[in-house]
Amino acid sequence: MEREINLNSSDISVKKIERLSWLLTVVMILVSLLCFTVEIAKAVLIGGLIANISFFFMKRDLVKAMQGLLGAVKVTFLLKYYARLTALALVLFFLIRYGQLAIGGMLLGLSSVVLSIGFSAINQLRRDSLSKKNIDSAIAEIGQGS
């Protein structure tokens, strides 16, 4: 029995997080170019690419895993997850050790996905809070009208 996964629900959308993450990466690169050096902007670009590509593959594998029978795909998903994590650790190790990149810039680029998730969560909380206030005020108006 397969399930359909909705990535575009009214709650936090994974596609919105992806778009926001790429946008944040571009903005951070531009700010780095304007305020710092080209080397820092290059490090932000590399970190952003690593984070966004890793997020894309994680999302793809997770959607595949959630659509099938969980018991059947659990081992495959975990193997892919740990293989990707190991590859990511090796790439970061070699970039830091031999790449002569600005570590701060790379960390800033790597944080693009985390920042986009945080911004999306805060935005969703703000929307939920505003809708709750609107519902509470409507209920209060109905109560006073009686």
Q: What is the pLDDT of residue 60?
A: 86
Domain parsing of the chain, residue ranges: 14-120
pLDDT (tens place) for every residue of the chain, 146 residues total? 444 555 555 556 888 899 999 999 999 999 999 999 999 999 999 999 999 999 999 888 888 777 766 666 777 888 888 999 999 999 999 988 888 888 999 999 999 999 999 998 898 888 888 776 666 666 666 766 55
Which pair of tokens denotes residue 70?
A: 């969980």
Q: What is the pLDDT of residue 136?
A: 64
Q: Where are the alpha helices (DSSP H) in 36-111?
A: 38-67, 70-98, 103-110
Q: State CA 46 to chain mean position distance.
A: 16
Going by C-alpha positions, the residue among 18, 90, 107 that lies closest to residue 58 is 18
Beta carbons within 10 angstroms of residue 67's beta carbon? 13
Cα(56)–Cα(116) distance, integer angstroms: 14
Q: Is 95 in contact with 29 (CB distance < 8 Å)? A: no
pTM: 0.74
Rg (CA), the chain: 21
Q: What is the pLDDT of residue 42?
A: 94
Q: What is the pLDDT of residue 2?
A: 46
Which pair of tokens denotes residue 31?
A: 């700010």
Q: What is the pLDDT of residue 1?
A: 43
Q: Is 52 in contact with 25 (CB distance < 8 Å)? A: yes
Q: What is the pLDDT of residue 107?
A: 94
